[in-house]
Structure 1
Amino acid sequence: MQNPTNPGSGIKLVAQNERKRSLNRSFPERTERLSTKHGYSWQVRLAGEKGGRVTGRTHLAVGAAAAMLAAGPAASLTGLALAAAGGAAGAVLPDLDVRDTAHPWRERLARAGAAALLVGALVFDAVSGASLARDAVARGVGPLLLGTVALVALACAARLSAHRGFSHSLLALVGFAAATHLVCPPLAPAVALGFATHLALDALTYRGLRLFWPLHATLSARLCKTGGVADACCLVAALAAVLLVCWSVLA
Structure 2
Amino acid sequence: MSGKTHIAVGTAVALAVLQPMEGPQLVTGICAAVVGSVISDIDVDTSISSRGINKAAAIYMTVIFVAVVVELLFHVGIVSLIQKNSMWMRVATGIALFMSVCAFGKIQPHRSFMHSLSALLILSGAVALIYPAAVPYFSIAFISHILADLLNYKKVRLFYPLKKGISFKICHATGLVNSALFIVGTSAVVIEMALYVYYKIF
TM-score range, shorter chain: 0.7 to 0.9
Distance 1:245 1:139 in 2: 37
Is 2:130 aligned against 1:176? no
Residue aligning to 1:50? none
Q: Distance in 2 between matches of 1:225 and 1:94?
A: 18
Give 1:81-230 correspondences, 5 Å limit: 81-99=27-45, 104=46, 107-108=47-48, 140-230=87-177
Task: Give 1 or 2: higher strand fraction.
Answer: 1
The structure showing larger relative contact order (alpha-carbon pairs under 8 Å, at least 6 residues apart) is 2
Change (3 A) 1:138 1:242: farther
> CA–CA distance in 2 between the matches of 1:244 and 1:111?
30
SS of match in other structure, 1:140: helix
The C-alpha deviation readout for 1:210-244, integer Å capped at 9, x for no partner, is 00000011110001113211111111111111011
Go from structure 1 to structure 2 and tell me whether the alpha carbon gap of 1:110 and 1:67 turns closer, same or farther (over 3 Å shift): farther
In structure 2, stretches of 5+ residues that fail to align are: 56-83
Counting matched residue pairs gives 168
Larger radius of gyration between Structure 1 and Structure 2: 1
Q: 1:249 maps to what in 2?
A: 196
Task: Kindly report the root-mean-square deviation, in angstroms, between the aligned alpha carbons of the 2 structures.
Answer: 2.1
Which has the larger share of helix?
Answer: 2
Extract unaligned runs of 5+ from structure 1. 1-53, 116-136
What is the CA–CA distance in structure 2 between the aligned matches of 1:205 and 1:199, rounded to whole Å?
10
Deviations 1:11-56 (A, max 9, x none): xxxxxxxxxxxxxxxxxxxxxxxxxxxxxxxxxxxxxxxxxxx111
| Shift in CA distance, 66/139, structure 1 to aligned 2, threshold 3 Å | farther
Amino acid at match of 2:129: L
Deviation at 1:110, TM superposition (A): 9.2
State, as a whole percentage, how many aligned pairs show the same letter. 26
TM-fit CA distance, 1:78: 1.8
1:77 maps to which residue? 23
